[in-house]
Amino acid sequence: MANNHCLLLLIVIQTIQKMLKVEHIGIAVKSLKESNDLFTKLFARPPYKTEAVESEGVSTSFFQMGESKIELLEATNEDSAIAKFIAKRGEGIHHIAYEVEDILKEMERLSKEGFTLLNKEPKKGADNKLVCFLHPKTTNGVLIELCQEIK
Ligand SMILES: CC[C@@H](C(=O)O)C(=O)SCCNC(=O)CCNC(=O)[C@H](O)C(C)(C)COP(=O)(O)OP(=O)(O)OC[C@H]1O[C@@H](n2cnc3c(N)ncnc32)[C@H](O)[C@@H]1OP(=O)(O)O
Ligand SMILES: [Co+2]
């Protein structure tokens, strides 16, 4: 019986360790400057950083929200995922990002579970992270980003 409890505890710990927390929520905006002003009023504090990620065609800013963050994203070119999203759906929540401890392991696990990975190798994201996206068609219409801190 004691052994069964230990095994159960180990499984629970391993499951919790896979997706640690909501790292950030990504919001697609038309103007980073206007939205920075708006969210600064809303949260009563300014973004702690802004960063352009050329490979994704975005400019971003980050607001700390407890252990998580709000990431605002403005498109910097018309091929950007953010430009396409806004053209189709307008401004709003674009993705939810989970922090993971080992992105390669998580990518392998989720791929085996049948989720479609949008990049086969982790890529460099904003705020010192390696990232990978899951296709929203395989996740109930929600774009999921995995991110691992680069140490
Ligand atoms: C700053 C770096 C990084 C970070 O560190 O945090 C970021 O957050 S970058 C964020 C921007 N980058 C990405 O989103 C990369 C991953 N996204 C993609 O590869 C594509 O956007 C996509 C999800 C594969 C869609 O691309 P595509 O198929 O070319 O666009 P369509 O407009 O044709 O969409 C097809 C289909 O998917 C629906 N869709 C698109 N985006 C989303 C979304 N964010 N959430 C939910 N659903 C989405 C879109 O509406 C279409 O659906 P149907 O109309 O029903 O076919
Ligand atoms: Co993001």
Q: What domains, with CATH codes, occur in the chain?
A: 19-149 (3.10.180.10)
Residue 40 C-alpha to ligand 1 middle, in angstroms? Answer: 26
3 pLDDT above the threshold of 80: no
Atom of ligand 1 at shortest range from CA of 126: 5
Q: Which two tokens stand for residue 101?
A: 């401890």
3-state secondary structure of 91: coil
- pLDDT tens for 38-58 read 999 999 999 999 999 999 999
Q: How confident is the model at residue 20 (pLDDT cuts 50, 70, 90)?
A: confident
φ and ψ at residue 81, rounded to 5 degrees = -55, -35
- Indicate whether 82 pLDDT > 90: yes
71 close to ligand 1 (CB < 6 Angstrom):
yes
Q: Return the best residue to mutate from 27, 29, 53, 56 for the ligand 1 pocket (most ligand atoms within 8 A of CB).
A: 56
68 and 25 in contact (C-beta within 8 Å)? Answer: yes
Model's pTM, two decimal places?
A: 0.92
> 7-16, 98-107, 127-136 — which is least confidently predicted?
7-16
pLDDT averaged over every residue in the chain: 93
Whole-angstrom Cα distance, residue 140 to residue 104?
23
Q: Does the structure show a pLDDT above 60 at 114?
A: yes
Which has the closest alpha carbon to 97: 131, 57, 50, 47?
A: 131
